[in-house]
Chain A
Amino acid sequence: MTHQTPILQIKNLCAGVAGKQIIKNLNLTIYEGEIHAIMGPNGAGKSTLSHVLTGKSGYEITSGEILFNGKNLLTLTPDERANEGLFLIMQYPIEIPGVSFMTFLKYALNAKRKYHGQSELNAVAFMKLIQQEAAKLNISQEMLKRAVNVGFSGGEKKRMETLQMALLQPTLAILDEADSGLDIDALKLVADGINNLQDNRRSLLIITHHQDLLDRILPDFVHIFSDGHIIRTGDKNLALELENKGYADFIKEAQC
Chain B
Amino acid sequence: MLDLLKHISTPDISIPALMSLRLKGKNSYCGLPTQKTEAYKYTPFYAVLSPDMFQSASEVSHDSCHCHEQSLPFQSFELHYCNGCPHLHFPFIEGVEISSLVDAVAEHEIQRYINKFDCQQFPFAALNTACLYHGLFIRISKTPDKPISLIYHNKHSGAKNVRNIIVIENGVHAEIIETHEGNRQAYFSNIVNEIFIAKNAVLKHYKRQNESINSAHIALSNVQIKAGGQYESYTYQKGARIARNETHILLKEENAGAVVNSAYHINGTTLIDTTTDIEHLACLTQSNQLVRGAIDGHAHGVFQGKIHIEPNAQKTQGYQLHNALLLSDDAHIDVKPELEIFADDVKCSHGATSGDINEEELFYLKSRGIDELTARQILISAFLNTAFENITNPDIKEFLTL
Contact = CB atoms under 8 A, between A and B. Distances in A.
Contacts of A108: 365, 368-370
B361 A79 contact: no
Given A90-B364, A94-B360, A107-B374, A82 B369 contact: yes
B361 A96 contact: yes
A79 B363 contact: no
Contacts of B366: 55, 77-79, 82
B3 to A, nearest CB: 46
A9 interface: no
B368 A82 contact: yes
Interface in A75-98: 77-79, 81-83, 87-88, 90, 93-94, 96-98
A56 B359 CA distance: 10
A111 interface: yes
Contacts of B374: 107, 111
Interface residues of B, number: 22
Contact of B365 (A88, A97, A104): A104
Contacts of A103: 378
A39 to B, nearest CB: 23
A77 B371 CA distance: 9
B385 to A, nearest CB: 6
Contacts of B368: 79, 82, 104, 107-108, 111, 164, 168
Contacts of A203: none
Interface in A42-61: 54-57
B61 interface: no
A107 B361 contact: no
Interface in B356-382: 359-361, 363-372, 374-375, 378-379, 381-382
Nearest to B374: A107
A98 B360 CA distance: 15
A79 B369 contact: yes
Contact of B372 (A77, A81, A83, A112): A77
Contacts of A56: 363
A121 interface: no
A94 B364 contact: yes
A227 B374 CA distance: 38
A94 B385 contact: no
Contacts of A168: 368-369
B386 A78 contact: no
A111 B386 contact: no
B383 interface: yes
A77 B366 CA distance: 8
Nearest to A113: B369
A93 B364 CA distance: 8
Given A56-B363, A93-B364, A98 B386 contact: yes
A192 B370 CA distance: 26
Interface in B375-397: 375, 378-379, 381-383, 385-386
Nearest to A108: B368
Contacts of B364: 90, 93-94, 96, 148
B386 A97 contact: yes
Interface of A: 54-57, 77-79, 81-83, 87-88, 90, 93-94, 96-99, 103-104, 107-108, 111-112, 115, 147-148, 164, 168
Given A98-B385, A99-B378, A99-B382, 5 more contacts: A79-B367, A79-B368, A88-B367, A94-B364, A107-B368
29 contacts: A55-B366, A55-B367, A57-B359, A77-B372, A78-B363, A79-B371, A82-B368, A82-B369, A87-B367, A90-B364, A94-B361, A96-B364, A96-B379, A97-B386, A98-B383, A98-B385, A98-B386, A99-B379, A99-B382, A103-B378, A104-B378, A107-B378, A108-B365, A111-B368, A111-B374, A115-B369, A148-B364, A164-B368, A168-B369
